[in-house]
Amino acid sequence: MITVEELEGKQAITWCTGCGNFGILAALKKAVIELDVPRHEILLVSGIGCSSKAPHYINLNMFHTLHGRAIPVATGAHLVNPDLKVIVNTGDGDGLGEGFSHYIHAARRNVNLAVFIHNNGVMGLTKGQFSPAAQRGYVSITSPPPGAPMWPINPVALAIAGGATYVARGFSGNQKDLVTLMVEAVQHRGFAVVDILQPCQTWNRKLTWKFYNERAYSLQEEGHDPTNKMLALEKSFEFGDRIPVGLFYRSKLPDLASGLALPKDSRLRDHETDRALLQQVVNDLIL
């Protein structure tokens, strides 16, 4: 069994004090321990943003790729080694802006990935510009008063409508439930999303710890039925005095890999690497 000490990342954490990312990282470590699989069977993939730095802070195999491109990279890693548990750490700017078409198509394809959206309603790393998940009226350097003139994207509703087969919302201030959702998402076979409410202490003055603590309630404590797609969609539009957190929707459908009829020897991990050929490819790219 992996210990929390073994999961300690080697890099110094650069997140601001009080950032919601700390709660997500702590929950991710607990989830990995609870999953109880050998560490080489887990891969973390991220794009660009404060949130996308999370894989640097946990001692697991990781791939920090380009802005918005975590899902296609994760899809490739999954298809060449379907035994891997591939987790995507993305932000609302990264995954719902630049990378949004990948999100919706991966949902449609039911790719066997667990996608954790660190949703702070802002582009934190680049200094607080409004993101696709920013609240209407959010004032920032790129949305001067009266603020962002459009409504925020709804990653839960879009994942359900798009075809995802596990769709949940967590809150970085509720460790216990967040760990459960993360474990379930990784164990689920198909496209699993956990939209994680995550205060950005430095830039977002509206979506704060207080805001969420006063509003977040548990869907499961209120007896929500996650097999009812229409009810899940209806619940996904509730965002006001009360904000539902927990599992919205779960279903069982064939995932992408099971529909591809891949030959048995197609797993790249089972092939010897032809180093001369690899060098040739690299040379061709450079020249």
Ligand X SMILES: Cc1ncc(C[n+]2csc(CCOP(=O)(O)OP(=O)(O)O)c2C)c(N)n1
Chain contacts with ligand X (rule: CB under 6 A): 48-51, 67, 91-94, 118, 120, 122-126, 131
Of 18 and 254, nearer to ligand SF4 (C-beta) is: 18
Alpha-carbon span 166 to 74, nearest angstrom: 17
Least Å from the CB of residue 89 to ligand SF4: 13
Of 19 and 27, nearer to ligand SF4 (C-beta) is: 19
Q: Which does 94 bind (CB under 5 to 8 A by kind): Mg ion, ligand SF4, ligand X, none?
A: ligand X
In the list 92, 98, 195, 255, the residue contacting Mg ion (rule: CB under 5 A) is 92
In the list 27, 32, 50, 167, the residue contacting ligand SF4 (rule: CB under 6 A) is 50
Least Å from the CB of residue 249 to ligand X: 24
Of 98 and 255, nearer to Mg ion (C-beta) is: 98
Least Å from the CB of residue 98 to ligand X: 6
Question: Does residue 54 interact with ligand SF4 by CB under 6 A?
Answer: no
- Give me the phi and psi of 18, to 5 degrees please: 85, 0
Question: Does residue 166 interact with ligand SF4 by CB under 6 A?
Answer: no
- Cβ burial, residue 31 (10 Å; 0-12/13-18/19+): buried
The answer to whether 5 touches 33, Cβ cutoff 8 Å, is: no
Q: In the Cβ-directed half-sphere of 74, how many Cα atoms lie within 13 Å?
A: 32
- Give me the phi and psi of 249, to 5 degrees please: -150, 135
Interacting residues toward Mg ion by CB under 5 A: 91-93, 120
